[in-house]
Chain A
Amino acid sequence: MEAYLAAIAAIALIYVLLSLGLTLHYGLTGLINFGHVGFFCIGAYAAAILSTTGGMPIVVGFVAAAVLAGLAAWPIGLVSLRLRDDYFAIVTLGFSETVRLVVTSERWLTNGVQGIPGIPRLFEGLGVGMPSALAILGVLLAVNAAAVWLFFRLVKSPFGRMIEAIRDNEEAVRALGKDPARFKIRVLMLGAALAGIAGAFYAHYIGYIVPDQFIPLVTFYVWMAIIMGGVGRISGAIVGSLLLMLFLEGSRFLRDVVPFISAVDMASVRIGAVGLALVLFTLYRPQGLMGDYTRR
């Protein structure tokens, strides 16, 4: 039981990292990023390739994951400056699908649809079982804490106030002689780097990655998390991610208790519930569970 809870906690913390990245993008700057899974994918593949065929230490993979995902966001950021919000959403969705197609096709680098098996697990030296599971959780918690700390620093800094000002009134910022574009790009790259680190954790945790794991549904799960939790709030990102995991994993136990719902129906019910949550939260509680971002 403990190990199962530890596994859920690890995946949940990976989702929290993703949500924090998206919170930077959307919650703070209003960038509607529908391609978050693209950055996640880049991070996962960077870490996997470097630690397997690359033969590099795992730490190098993590750094590369963050840097490459961040760099991939740079051209997206340039594009975002010229697009309306809703167009940007569609373009980023296209971006993440293109990333998936590239890792599918470029067999020489990514082993294509065969995927990359045997990615070393973290803390293998501690053996299997609770010690390594706890160590992984510890590192994930530390990284999440660092991300939260960074987030607060950012919000409180002149840079952060600028970001909020951009979201609330871009014209006014421009009138003050500041260039919102540069700030936006930097925020986008930061959030993408967080998603890249999440990807590296994911690759080392699952131990096997294939392009099929990086479909847009992952992006929508993260959106669901931040919408449920409360857009733009750190507590919202955390609470939302935990709710998401409760929801995804809880359905397993529901079936043990109510054996008459077949697994097929359960999968349909699950996606229907995601839909219902998105609609109901938008309609009735747009500020999310943790409240409005304007009153942090």
Chain B
Amino acid sequence: MTTMNRRTLLGGVGGALALTAVPVSVNAQAATFRIGALNPVTGAGSPYGSGMQKMILAAVEEVNAAGGAGGRRIEVFAEDSQTSPQAAVLAAKKLIEVNNVRAIVGTWSSGVSLAVVPLTNDANILLLNTSGAPALSVPPANAKGLSYRFQATNDRFGRAFAEIATREGFKRAATMAFNNASGIGNTNGFKRAWEAKGNRVVAEVVYEPNQPSYRAELQRVLAARPDVIVMGSFLPDTTIILREWFQSGENTRWIIPGWAANPQLIQALGAQVTEGIISVDSVSNERAPSFAHFDQVHRRAMNQPGASNVYAAMTWDMVITLALAMEAAGPNADMAAINAKMREVANPPGEEVYTFAAGKAALAAGRAINYQGASSVLDFDQFGDVTPDFGVFFITKGQLERRYVVSI
């Protein structure tokens, strides 16, 4: 019965008909908007997953405290994707069919997002993801324009790495990549951009996870005498590799993505080992009030600074953006109407707003808005991808110190 109602609703008939078609629980249905938080609480994404999920809950709490979005309260159903496509598909089916969610929020890892996106497309609901694979931008994955990516693609990261390596005057770059889509995406993106600038990559290594030692891999790279090693890596392997590198006595420099070169890495290795490492991240809009606010909430929920989990900032932004789009679309809008407002509330032109409450007030006053996220300025291109600027952080005396920003 509920499935039928949802179908009718999503068939494009719109809110008015849905009201007549759902006789019993109409008030409860109209008053709440259900979303599914599908996050990598366990598996490879586990360092980030719980933070992502908690920030979704916190952002929803904030939206509801501000009186809800488009006259509706948001209700969250949380699931663990286990960072596994099979588990994620079943979880997504459950969220869509049993919980009737209208958006799935916070899928991490390209494997999970690529497996879930056919389901969200079939149900005509939104998928807001934090995955890097280029395949997610284009059909068939994004055939209906219902998928938004709050993370820079791996390719964009690679291009940013090449910009930074040029600016720092490196000549002999080598790469090391974790053997998965994201790791290789980073280093391949770097290689393309780096060679386009007329440079050469002196050594490339792709390594397997869960090794007791990465010394052979490291030696292969160091044997080519690089002046900088560009990584496509994650936290545990980066910890082991840097530890072995330091004990090897070489003085290479490092360019590492921000999800691996983060405060936890510094805590694990100490200030001496991490001195001078260049950490690159899409600019978490730190100077923006939205980030300060997110940081405060994150510290309260997770007892860690907000900068320690870039994906948590993204899931926070997902909820706020979605809620603003709901608000802009008006009461009882269907998914198509809400989707049509996503770019309107996030992209220029419009008044720059930093919280849901401020955006809601501006919309109520009839002004156009441009939400400036905690994770980036959040402007979606035609593919639903963001092109954030990249912050370049140097680790100095155990602190991540931002030196400059590169745009690609």
Question: In the complex, is A directly touching B at CB under 8 Å?
Answer: yes
Q: Name A's B-contacting residues (CB within 8 A).
A: 1-4, 7-8, 11, 101, 104, 112-115, 117-118, 121, 128-129, 202, 206-210, 212-213, 249, 252, 255-256, 262-264, 266-268
Q: Is B372's CB within 8 Å of the partner chain A? A: no
Q: Is B341's CB within 8 Å of the partner chain A? A: no
* A128 and B118 alpha carbons, distance in the complex (Å): 10
Q: Is B71's CB within 8 Å of the partner chain A? A: no
* A121 and B133 alpha carbons, distance in the complex (Å): 21
* A118 and B93 alpha carbons, distance in the complex (Å): 18
Q: Is B309's CB within 8 Å of the partner chain A? A: no
Task: Establish whether residues A115 and B114, one from each chain, have CB atoms under 8 Å apart when the complex forms.
Answer: yes
* A252 and B89 alpha carbons, distance in the complex (Å): 13
Task: Establish whether residues B86 and A11, one from each chain, have CB atoms under 8 Å apart when the complex forms.
Answer: yes
Task: Establish whether residues B118 and A207, one from each chain, have CB atoms under 8 Å apart when the complex forms.
Answer: yes
- Interchain CB contact (< 8 A) of A7 among B2, B93, B208: B93
Task: Establish whether residues A113 and B89, one from each chain, have CB atoms under 8 Å apart when the complex forms.
Answer: no
User: What is the distance, in angstroms, from A214's C-beta to the closest C-beta of chain B?
Assistant: 10
Task: Establish whether residues B98 and A1, one from each chain, have CB atoms under 8 Å apart when the complex forms.
Answer: yes
Task: Establish whether residues B3 and A2, one from each chain, have CB atoms under 8 Å apart when the complex forms.
Answer: yes
Contacts of A252 on B, CB cut-off 8 Å?
A: 79, 91, 94
Q: Tell me whether chain B's interface is mostly helix, strand or loop, or mixed.
A: helix
Task: Establish whether residues A262 and B50, one from each chain, have CB atoms under 8 Å apart when the complex forms.
Answer: yes
* A11 and B93 alpha carbons, distance in the complex (Å): 12
Contacts of A209 on B, CB cut-off 8 Å?
A: 85
Q: Which of B176-184, B277-285, B327-335 contacts A (4 or more CB under 8 A)?
A: B176-184
Task: Establish whether residues A206 and B89, one from each chain, have CB atoms under 8 Å apart when the complex forms.
Answer: yes
Q: 20 extra interchain contacts, Cβ-Cβ under 8 A, other than A115-B111, A264-B46? A: A1-B98, A2-B97, A3-B96, A4-B94, A4-B97, A8-B93, A11-B86, A117-B141, A121-B118, A206-B89, A207-B115, A207-B118, A208-B85, A210-B85, A210-B181, A212-B180, A213-B86, A252-B94, A263-B39, A263-B49
- Closest Cβ neighbor of A245 among chain B residues: B90
* A207 and B181 alpha carbons, distance in the complex (Å): 17
Task: Establish whether residues A263 and B140, one from each chain, have CB atoms under 8 Å apart when the complex forms.
Answer: no
* A33 and B84 alpha carbons, distance in the complex (Å): 24
Task: Establish whether residues A264 and B41, one from each chain, have CB atoms under 8 Å apart when the complex forms.
Answer: yes
* A28 and B84 alpha carbons, distance in the complex (Å): 33
Interface string of B1-43 (1 = CB under 8 A from A): 0110001000000000000000000000000000000010110
Contacts of A210 on B, CB cut-off 8 Å?
A: 85, 111, 181
Task: Establish whether residues B3 and A1, one from each chain, have CB atoms under 8 Å apart when the complex forms.
Answer: yes
Assuming the contacts A206-B86, A210-B111, A252-B79, asked whether A263 and B53 have C-beta atoms less than 8 A apart, the reply is yes
Task: Establish whether residues B133 and A114, one from each chain, have CB atoms under 8 Å apart when the complex forms.
Answer: yes
Task: Establish whether residues B80 and A267, one from each chain, have CB atoms under 8 Å apart when the complex forms.
Answer: yes
- Closest Cβ neighbor of B134 among chain A residues: A114
User: What is the distance, in angstroms, from A122's C-beta to the closest C-beta of chain B?
Assistant: 13
Task: Establish whether residues A266 and B90, one from each chain, have CB atoms under 8 Å apart when the complex forms.
Answer: no
Q: Is B239's CB within 8 Å of the partner chain A? A: no
Contacts of A113 on B, CB cut-off 8 Å?
A: 179-181, 184
Q: Is B246's CB within 8 Å of the partner chain A? A: no
Q: How large is the interface on B (under 10, 10 to 19, 20 to 34, 35 or more residues)?
A: 35 or more
Assuming the contacts A1-B98, A117-B141, A262-B50, asked whether A7 and B3 have C-beta atoms less than 8 A apart, the reply is no
Contacts of B181 on A, CB cut-off 8 Å?
A: 113-115, 210
List the 3 closest A-B pairs by CB distance, nearest first. A267-B42, A4-B97, A263-B41
Q: Is B142's CB within 8 Å of the partner chain A? A: no
- Interchain CB contact (< 8 A) of B80 among A206, A249, A263: A263
Q: Is B175's CB within 8 Å of the partner chain A? A: no
Q: Is B82's CB within 8 Å of the partner chain A? A: yes
Task: Establish whether residues B97 and A249, one from each chain, have CB atoms under 8 Å apart when the complex forms.
Answer: no
- Closest Cβ neighbor of A115 among chain B residues: B111
- Interchain CB contact (< 8 A) of B79 among A112, A117, A263: A263
* A65 and B252 alpha carbons, distance in the complex (Å): 48
Contacts of B53 on A, CB cut-off 8 Å?
A: 263
Q: Is B135's CB within 8 Å of the partner chain A? A: yes
* A64 and B49 alpha carbons, distance in the complex (Å): 38
Q: Is B78's CB within 8 Å of the partner chain A? A: yes
User: What is the distance, in angstroms, from A57's C-beta to the closest C-beta of chain B?
Assistant: 19
Interface string of B42-73 (1 = CB under 8 A from A): 10001001100100000000000000000000
Assuming the contacts A117-B135, A267-B82, asked whether A1 and B114 have C-beta atoms less than 8 A apart, the reply is no
Q: Is B122's CB within 8 Å of the partner chain A? A: yes
- Interchain CB contact (< 8 A) of A208 among B2, B97, B114: B114
Contacts of B41 on A, CB cut-off 8 Å?
A: 262-264, 267
User: Which of A104, A118, A252, A266 has most B Cβ within 10 Å?
Assistant: A252
User: Which of A206, A263, A266 has most B Cβ within 10 Å?
Assistant: A263
- Closest Cβ neighbor of B123 among chain A residues: A128
* A240 and B262 alpha carbons, distance in the complex (Å): 45
Sample 7 A-B pairs with CB under 8 A, ordered by A number: A129-B7, A207-B118, A210-B181, A255-B78, A262-B41, A263-B80, A268-B42
Contacts of B115 on A, CB cut-off 8 Å?
A: 206-208
- Closest Cβ neighbor of A118 among chain B residues: B140
User: What is the distance, in angstroms, from B29's C-beta to the closest C-beta of chain A?
Assistant: 15
Contacts of A3 on B, CB cut-off 8 Å?
A: 3, 93, 96-97
Contacts of A118 on B, CB cut-off 8 Å?
A: 140
List which B354-390 residues lie within 8 A (CB) of chain A: none
* A234 and B89 alpha carbons, distance in the complex (Å): 28
Contacts of A8 on B, CB cut-off 8 Å?
A: 90, 93
Contacts of A7 on B, CB cut-off 8 Å?
A: 89-90, 93, 97
Contacts of B49 on A, CB cut-off 8 Å?
A: 263-264
User: What is the distance, in angstroms, from B227's C-beta to the closest C-beta of chain A?
Assistant: 28
Contacts of A202 on B, CB cut-off 8 Å?
A: 86
Task: Establish whether residues A117 and B80, one from each chain, have CB atoms under 8 Å apart when the complex forms.
Answer: no
- Closest Cβ neighbor of A255 among chain B residues: B78
Contacts of A263 on B, CB cut-off 8 Å?
A: 39, 41-42, 49-50, 53, 78-80
